[in-house]
Amino acid sequence: MELPEAVFSLTQLTTLNAYNNCLETIPPTITQLVSLKKLQLSQNSLTCIPSFKDMPALSLLSLSHNQLGALFASIADSTAFWPPSLTDMQLDDNHIFSLPDNFANLSSLTALSVRNNNIVTLPPSFFTLTALQHLVMAGNQIQELRIDGGLSSLTSLDLADNKITRLSLNLPSLRNLYIQDNQISTLGPEIASLPSLEFFSAQNNMIEIIASDIGQLSHLSFLSLCNNRLTTFPLSLAFLSSLTL
């Protein structure tokens, strides 16, 4: 099943919702929709996508619940594939193994969701997304993640339900962090590198040790540590007057 060619003559169209159909391909002629701002193609059967670089108004692109799979990185790995206007991209439930290096060109991207894929690592260029505010990577295969600089605007990070054993984050703007349902055993001194953190969900891990540096998170108001292996809590938690356990 394909979109009818007549659709691509609607050059004033700003929103196209074609989710929950049986689309298998999207023709390159979709770039004729030069006024399109929102393109919703989730819940189809797409295995391949065309370049969207010539769609200067496109801000939201939803490709969730398709079949982009292991080929996604190679399909999308050209220098000019994504429009610089893109601010919100949704790629959930696609069996994606890796993200293309050219994500670094998405200078306006503020929200990215890649929930329930097979991603193990992120390309180094990914950390240059200075506009990114909301990142969802729950339900992937990440075992270790280190972010030491970059992503300076990130306020919400969801890493739940991965295979993470080691995590080191230096994200000064981060307010919400979800790391539940992983295999983390230690929250080390680097926790202090999240000075803006307000909401911290860390239940269902293997946490045995929490560094006293957690007491430096003066904005922390919610902390969930259920179902871990703790025998004691750091005394520094007592200094967090806004905290709810």
pLDDT in tens, 171-204: 999 999 999 999 999 999 999 999 999 999 999 9
Q: Are 82 and 104 in contact (CB under 8 A)?
A: no
**Quick one: which H or E segment has residue 74?**
helix 72-75
The pLDDT-based confidence of 4 (bands split at 50, 70, 90) is: confident
The pLDDT-based confidence of 244 (bands split at 50, 70, 90) is: confident
The pLDDT-based confidence of 105 (bands split at 50, 70, 90) is: confident
- Residues 162-169 have a mean pLDDT of 97
Calpha distance 188→167 (Å, rounded): 9
The pLDDT-based confidence of 241 (bands split at 50, 70, 90) is: confident
If asked whether residues 182 and 123 sit together in one domain, one would say: no
The yes-or-no verdict on residue 104 having pLDDT over 90 is: no
pLDDT for 69 equals 85
Q: Quick one: tokens of 158? A: 């969801």
- Residues 40-65 have a mean pLDDT of 95
Which residue among 94, 121, 138 closes a domain?
Answer: 138
pLDDT for 79 equals 62
The yes-or-no verdict on residue 72 having pLDDT over 90 is: no
If asked whether residues 54 and 134 sit together in one domain, one would say: yes
Calpha distance 91→64 (Å, rounded): 4
pLDDT in tens, 208-228: 999 999 999 999 999 999 999
Which residue among 93, 111, 138 closes a domain?
Answer: 138
Q: Quick one: tokens of 167? A: 């995590």
**Longest Cα pair distance anywhere in the chain, in angstroms?**
67
If asked whether residues 16 and 102 sit together in one domain, one would say: yes
What is the extent of the structural domain holding 47?
A: 1-138
The pLDDT-based confidence of 41 (bands split at 50, 70, 90) is: very high
pTM above 0.85, yes or no: yes
If asked whether residues 148 and 54 sit together in one domain, one would say: no
If asked whether residues 150 and 239 sit together in one domain, one would say: yes
Q: Quick one: tokens of 80? A: 């000019």
Average predicted confidence (pLDDT) for the chain: 93
If asked whether residues 151 and 131 sit together in one domain, one would say: no
If asked whether residues 103 and 165 sit together in one domain, one would say: no
Which residue among 90, 112, 138 closes a domain?
Answer: 138
Torsion of CA 213, 238, 180, 149, to 10 degrees: -30
If asked whether residues 155 and 121 sit together in one domain, one would say: no
By three-state DSSP, how is residue 144 classified?
strand
Calpha distance 230→83 (Å, rounded): 47
If asked whether residues 229 and 242 sit together in one domain, one would say: yes
pLDDT in tens, 9-31: 999 999 999 999 999 999 999 99
If asked whether residues 126 and 212 sit together in one domain, one would say: no
Query: Which long-range CB contacts under 8 A does 151-154 form with residues at least 24 apart?
Result: 151/127, 153/110
CA proximity to 42, closest of 60, 25, 15, 18:
18
Q: Residue 116's domain is classified under what CATH number? A: 3.80.10.10
pLDDT for 152 equals 95
Domain count, the chain: 2
If asked whether residues 110 and 67 sit together in one domain, one would say: yes
The pLDDT-based confidence of 78 (bands split at 50, 70, 90) is: low
Q: Where are the beta strands (DSSP E) in the chain?
A: 15-17, 38-40, 60-62, 88-90, 111-113, 134-136, 144-148, 156-158, 166-170, 176-178, 186-187, 199-201, 209-210, 222-224
By three-state DSSP, how is residue 6 classified?
helix
Q: Quick one: tokens of 156? A: 């919400």
Please state, for a pLDDT cut of 90, what percent of the chain lies above it: 80
Q: Where are the beta strands (DSSP E) in 18-123?
A: 38-40, 60-62, 88-90, 111-113
pLDDT for 245 equals 65
If asked whether residues 173 and 186 sit together in one domain, one would say: yes
